[in-house]
Structure 1
């Protein structure tokens, strides 16, 4: 037992030496990562993100977000970090921060913000996470509970003790969520005031997010699916949360710079929904102008455009068909590529695909101990290799859905010139409200096909009711 005591004291000493003064709060925090390690960790994850998430290609907009972010950083507690602010090219309503100052905002969120102060509030909140080293503190807490779990397990000789401590540690780390978000709100509000933005912009952003969340939940219920909302506790604040109000009002209040016109000019022409570079969904079609391709999915199937794949689900989600890129194999024909993927012993009923500038091969694959059937195809086009895989939850339905999946595979074609305009997607555009203008009238001029009135209200912070004022700049989608 003395050896175990010695081990526990060594581990305890390691934990105690991990305390450091938080640069943003002045309190002593438990951390097991130096600042250089923090920056290195953030850089490593940023490199991964650059490979996994598409970066919005508008350099002018990227530079604008960087300028606003740097204005916040200059008045923060850790201005020495080399912050990078990046716009992600997805319609997701989200923003997040990595250790060391790597901050990301999705253009989907930017579409619903209405001023530079709103943008600054989102960025300031994320900067607050960085300056307070929230990710580092959570990482250290996780490591600490892991170490303590080892000690408990060693003393008890029961492996489950480690699992129990791990569960306890997970609860502790998750428990930080509420406090960390409020701390990021307070620090963000402070940075806003220091940078001459009104700290109340933090409340405005939460209002925008809550409206979007309400609409998203309503739409999801109507479509029979789970809603997707902005990350973290930042989205769960009630509009009139007393603690949030106290946090925001605890910093010096300045009327500050709203920058509405600057912001609207910056996002004028920004992609809305799918972007040209990521491919565009139009009805049953997926159009990708940079790759010059078009593919048509079965009627009624829901198409999801992910950063690394396109996925279609049948109405009852009984069947799925996915398409993604695979590495090129020199001197390997499509049929051989398919055989390499699934094994010749598992391949059934293969056939060639030949059309203008397209070569491919499709077959049925039998996999798993129950012999589950899948439709697999490899298509060579424009120097790229496309994999298409279709499957059903239950094998007995495969014969019902396979003809639809095969039809989709054979619909793969060179993008017709008549679809070039559609393949460019929708854009946020500015217009001045006319006298007597209503969102119902604007909806008729919009390219939005579904929930046009509701989406225009959300875009212009008029949800769920109200009409624009004459002469006001409005965002529309065309």
Structure 2
């Protein structure tokens, strides 16, 4: 093989010929029959490798995302998901369906049948059929081996870039990288459409109306419209569910075509009441387990913790950290868990944490049931940082702040020190707020309107629009007497 390559290489034309020949060779060796489409696809891994890769990635997901603690809800989602998967092209896979405990509007699939749905997405669904549609869409990605095809393209591009670079220099390597990048630029519209088509088939095979796929898209498009209006006010970007669910309208002709050609078997199960029972009591927004943002206060009941940030700063509660951002993003202060290091004082911990950076103006922190150390850190070449390490209840907390313009560090540092000084046990008066918000299933009474329901809601803003959204009656629908609704309490 190497001798053949050496004979072919001759200037730039030789490089192109090598690239093309190698690509054909890799392509032919990697072709396999797609279990869902029946077509021959380019893949460089067996089903066993696919499952192994999915299992490995699932361990990383577990580290990055918290799983929702309600085992009743987890079992319900697993039951519906496996019902759909049992009627798919790859029913022999051992599928796992898991609810992630974040308010994000998302769902995704790993290779080999590891499928995740965020709790935030479930708040906007209104029937078992809609839940099944989301899960069926993700099963469609697995059965069609979309992620495996992506991975294989990336692997092939890697191989080609290395081989061609060896024999032809950096320029040819750049060419192959461009080619491989273009081929693996993510799930394109065709893959998303294909997943919707297979999902509709699996819905019908499982006794659900395949039109639930369209209904989910309508719900999510309304949610995205509402989120965009709010984002314009806050200047933030909107994170949407991937694929056609976020980028194409429900009246998309191709989408209507692939779903419309799947006939329902009988009337098709909806399961609205069962779904509303399943999500009754489910956390809405951030859960108590992840901590609650109450204005400028961060409340964490399981860790018995409260921290108050400067007035006007925006708080973003992320899975791994809480970030407080000053107006115009001029400064930030983040709170995160640190690694426990037995035998270290807080000062020793901080010095090791910042490495070779210069530390000055350090002082001890003493509070009720906790101790710590805070200092100004000079990373050399970057703006100054305010860093604090606090030992509390057997845990290590790190607070790290900085500024965009170092000339403003002193002014913002005073505010950051006040926030750090507010660190302490959760007061009893805040205990109820630290439980967070939840969904509640109620039956609408005669005369009920979303405006009146919103007046009794703990939501401070957009309560009326939010209630319409979670009940699929946005933007101006009203409840009918006797209708089961989701409210927020």
TM-score by length of 1: 0.96
Shift of 1:162: 2.0
- 1:378-393 to structure 2, matched below 5 A, reads 378-393=389-404
- Describe the shift of the 1:141–1:343 C-alpha distance in structure 2 as closer, same or farther (beyond 3 A): closer
- State whether residues 11 and 147 of structure 1, in contact with CA within 8 Å, keep that contact through their aligned partners in structure 2: no
Alignment correspondent of 1:355: 367
Alignment correspondent of 1:289: 301
**Distance in structure 1 (CA, Å) of the matches to 2:386 and 2:460:** 33
| Aligned counterpart for 1:28 among listed residues 23, 34, 40 | 40
- State whether residues 289 and 424 of structure 1, in contact with CA within 8 Å, keep that contact through their aligned partners in structure 2: yes
| Aligned counterpart for 2:276 among listed residues 258, 264, 270 | 264
Shift of 1:253: 2.5
**Distance in structure 2 (CA, Å) of the matches to 1:147 and 1:366:** 42
**Does 2:42 correspond to 1:17?**
no
Matched residues, number: 476
Shift of 1:172: 2.5
- 1:28-427 to structure 2, matched below 5 A, reads 28-150=40-162, 152-153=164-165, 157-174=168-185, 177-254=188-265, 255-342=267-354, 346-369=358-381, 372-427=383-438
- Describe the shift of the 1:409–1:25 C-alpha distance in structure 2 as closer, same or farther (beyond 3 A): same
Alignment correspondent of 1:435: 446
Shift of 1:169: 2.4
- State whether residues 177 and 233 of structure 1, in contact with CA within 8 Å, keep that contact through their aligned partners in structure 2: no
**Distance in structure 2 (CA, Å) of the matches to 1:405 and 1:443:** 36
**Distance in structure 2 (CA, Å) of the matches to 1:226 and 1:129:** 26
**Distance in structure 2 (CA, Å) of the matches to 1:86 and 1:394:** 43
Shift of 1:223: 1.3
**Does 2:470 correspond to 1:459?**
yes
- State whether residues 128 and 185 of structure 1, in contact with CA within 8 Å, keep that contact through their aligned partners in structure 2: yes
**Distance in structure 2 (CA, Å) of the matches to 1:190 and 1:338:** 57
DSSP 3-state at the match of 1:430: strand
- State whether residues 293 and 412 of structure 1, in contact with CA within 8 Å, keep that contact through their aligned partners in structure 2: yes
DSSP 3-state at the match of 1:277: helix
**Distance in structure 1 (CA, Å) of the matches to 2:250 and 2:157:** 35
Alpha-carbon deviations, 1:185-229, whole Å to 9, x = none? 000000000000000000000001100111111110111222221
Shift of 1:231: 1.9
Shift of 1:358: 0.9
- State whether residues 216 and 229 of structure 1, in contact with CA within 8 Å, keep that contact through their aligned partners in structure 2: no
Q: Which moved more, 1:454-463 or 1:219-228?
A: 219-228
- Describe the shift of the 1:410–1:102 C-alpha distance in structure 2 as closer, same or farther (beyond 3 A): same
Gaps of 5+ in 1: none
| Aligned counterpart for 1:472 among listed residues 480, 483, 488 | 483
**Distance in structure 1 (CA, Å) of the matches to 2:319 and 2:157:** 35
DSSP 3-state at the match of 2:171: helix
DSSP 3-state at the match of 1:208: helix
Shift of 1:6: 7.3
- The root-mean-square deviation of aligned C-alpha atoms, in Å, is 1.7
**Distance in structure 1 (CA, Å) of the matches to 2:216 and 2:4:** 57
Shift of 1:316: 1.1
**Distance in structure 1 (CA, Å) of the matches to 2:45 and 2:245:** 26
Shift of 1:344: 8.2
- State whether residues 319 and 390 of structure 1, in contact with CA within 8 Å, keep that contact through their aligned partners in structure 2: yes
- Describe the shift of the 1:363–1:6 C-alpha distance in structure 2 as closer, same or farther (beyond 3 A): same
Shift of 1:3: 3.4
Shift of 1:150: 4.3
Shift of 1:52: 1.1
- Describe the shift of the 1:97–1:396 C-alpha distance in structure 2 as closer, same or farther (beyond 3 A): same
**Does 2:446 correspond to 1:444?**
no
**Distance in structure 1 (CA, Å) of the matches to 2:143 and 2:367:** 56
- State whether residues 36 and 89 of structure 2, in contact with CA within 8 Å, keep that contact through their aligned partners in structure 1: yes
